[in-house]
Amino acid sequence: MNSGIFIKEETWISEKSMVSSAHPNATLLNKTITEAYLKVQKAVIELESELSFDSLKECLLEKQSTQSKFKPLTVKMFADQLVEDMLSVN
């Protein structure tokens, strides 16, 4: 997920993952970054509560049986699709 925020390297504090107070819009930018991070964190927590190995296996097997041509589906592909689907419904 891209935050859409672009700043000069000298205004970024990498140890704290935040914009330095030397930047004129530091407060607003840090708030925006924090909100984006929390949104991703919330999605991960929701996925963790809904996803188990058994449900993943069941879903993968179900997708295999409904596809006309067999195409292997990796866990990463499944997770990427799941995140994409969640973002599309907000």
Mean pLDDT to the nearest integer, 7-23: 92
pLDDT of residue 68: 47
Q: Categorize the per-residue pLDDT at 12 as very low, low, confident or very high, splitting at 50, 70 and 90.
A: very high
The beta strand positions in the chain, using DSSP E, are 12-13, 18-19
DSSP assigned state of 17: T
> Where do we find the tokens 């970054």?
33
Side chain identity at residue 69, one-letter code? K
Domain boundaries, the chain: 1-50, 52-90
Tell me if 82 sits within 8 A of 72, measured CB to CB: no
Q: How far apart are alpha carbons 63 and 32 in whole angstroms?
A: 37
Amino acid at 43: A
